[in-house]
Structure 1
Amino acid sequence: MNGDNLHQRSVPQTTTILKTPHNISVTNFNLKKTPNYAPSQTYCWSFADASFLRWTTADVFHLFKYHPVPCFFAVSLLFFMGVEYTLQMIPPSSPPFDIGFVATDYLHRVLVASPTLNTVLAGLNTVFVGMQTAYIIGTWVIEGRPRSTIATLFMFTCRGILGYSTQLPLPEGFLGSGADFPVGNVSFFLFYSGHVAGSVIASLDMRRMHRWELAFLFDTLNLLQVVRLLSSRGHYTIDLAVGLGAGMLFDSLAGKYMNNAIAPDYGDALYTN
């Protein structure tokens, strides 16, 4: 599927593509014949060139048929606009509302009643963090592929800046453990979750290398990690959700960096995969 097109109907060879001022082809819907402008010509836009004037009922039906996800997002936008504009704000004197805390309330009470179980789960989570770290560093020092290492450096740098810029209060009911990471239950930034972001970076690299079983294992452990962090109130839900997106974002940025980097003096230290 071509992501630049809003539907997949075949375009007749006689169809002329409208040239925008930046020479970008507009193929959103069927277009009436419009003049072709050479790159050197000055383009003068008029209201008659507006894209919606060429939309037909068939175009709208094809939009819903071939692109249900953007349509769902459009409906969601309208829904959450209504929710946001009618929502009663949480007063400053109250703890933040977190839907993840609500969903894991039972597990939180279990951990409160069993400090030993909380310590065991924290230790297992720390082992998983060690697995992430070993894999990400290993892709560079063993396999000569530094993309994941660079992505992790980008990610933690940005996390430090954002975490310091807006310091969130420790969640009410936080259950710390000496076996947790950072080991010793020292202070840490809440926004965003480096646990989740690091897991995603490692999993994405595994998929690039077709290590499907290992990627599935990491994704499963990451999901269990999310449940555990919510149950122990170690992170807000928004920290975990943004951590997921951050892992994807910084892996992509590291890939772009690797594709554009020119470092002849480093040899194999900067391999382009």
Structure 2
Amino acid sequence: MNGDKLHQRSVQQTTTILKTPSNISINSLNLNKTPNYVQKTTEFRNHFCWSLADASFLKWTTADAFGLFKNHPIPCFFAVSLLFFMGVEYTLLMIPPSSPPFDIGFVATVYLHRVLVASPTINTFLAGLNTVFVGMQTAYIIGTLVIEGRPRATVAALFMFTCRGILGYSTQLPLPEGFLGSGVDFPVGNVSFFLFYSGHVAGSVIASLDMRRMHRWELAFLYDTLNLLQVVRLLSTRGHYTIDLAIGVGAGMLFDYLAGEYMKNAKAADDTTLYANRPRLS
């Protein structure tokens, strides 16, 4: 008799376990529902196909292609240059560690370098003129602040020389072979200096850009001409690599722009502060 009760109790427990709870419906499980990741994949595929069907290049015509070269020659030139230098880069033999760096500016100024080697007096004279030019650009940049009350060029120079110090210390390039130093060259005393990038060139660019903003066209042209002669002399004396001088031009433009943005934001902040401190009429 106890066995019958035990069997009956087991059947009841099994029935209770298999019984569906009253608050869950089989229909609510929706077994035919598409999984979420499948829906995401389908939506992405449909969106991609739609975007590809509306792609811009499918609407290009032959007239558009020829018009591109006619109306936008500079980007087209850059595109051709990209392909050319990709070929150069993949076929160029690298300079071995034991050899001095290759510099195309040094190759272009071989004759002038020989002249300066043979004539130390000319080298010293040109170095002195270059130092005078550095003094001219320094005086102009500081003068825009202390005399004219326009700090942008000074802020740009501070930004530029700080960044130059960081980069110049981070990667210290070897002094080029055949370097012709001079006691009157800047920095005066023939002391060590950072090669990357050229503060001579960057400072000249900052001064020239400020002159153009003030419509001092003749002075700006003079500074640009002297800057170009400075570049030739620095290459001839092996005082800078070509990349130092090229980045110097870009650095002057960049930090002049950043200084302008800084001044604009500073002025906006000052205006906001003044407006906030004004007494209200009510």
TM over 0.5: same fold?
Answer: yes
The whole-number CA distance in structure 2 between the counterparts of 1:125 and 1:212 is: 22
Counterpart mapping for 1:32-181 below 5 A = 46-181=51-186
Residue among 239, 246, 252 paired with 1:247: 252
User: Which amino acid is 2:176 matched to?
Assistant: P
Segments of structure 2 that go 5 or more residues without pairing to the other structure are 1-46, 272-282
Normalising to structure 1: TM-score of the pair?
0.79
Q: CA deviation at 1:155?
A: 0.7
Measured against aligned partners, the alpha-carbon deviations of 1:222-244 in whole angstroms (never above 9, x if no partner) come to 01000100010000011001101
Aligned to 2:265: 260
Aligned partner of 1:220 among 213, 222, 225: 225
How far apart are residue 63 of structure 1 and its match?
1.1
Partner of 1:203: 208
Choose 1 or 2 for highest CA Rg.
2
**Count of residue pairs brought into register by the alignment:** 223
Deviation at 1:53, TM superposition (A): 1.8
Distance in 1 between the 2:62 and 2:107 partners? Answer: 44
Give the counterpart letter for 1:165 in structure 2: S
Give the secondary structure class of the aligned counterpart of 1:148.
Answer: helix
CA RMSD of aligned residues (A): 1.5
Structure 2 matches for 1:5-44, cutoff 5 A?
Answer: none
Partners in 2 of 1:59 and 1:258 — Cα distance? 43
The alignment partner of 1:261 has SS state of: helix
Aligned identity (percent) is 88
Match of 2:8 in 1: none
Structure 2 partner of 1:183:
188
Offset, 1:49? 2.7
Higher helix share: 2
Give the corresponding residue for 2:7.
none
Secondary structure of 2:191's aligned partner: coil
- The corresponding residue for 1:230 is 235
Question: CA–CA distance in 2 between the matches of 1:125 and 1:196?
Answer: 11
TM-score by structure 2 length? 0.77
Rounded to whole Å, the distance in 1 between the matches of 2:127 and 2:66 is 51
Alignment partner of 1:192 is 2:197? yes
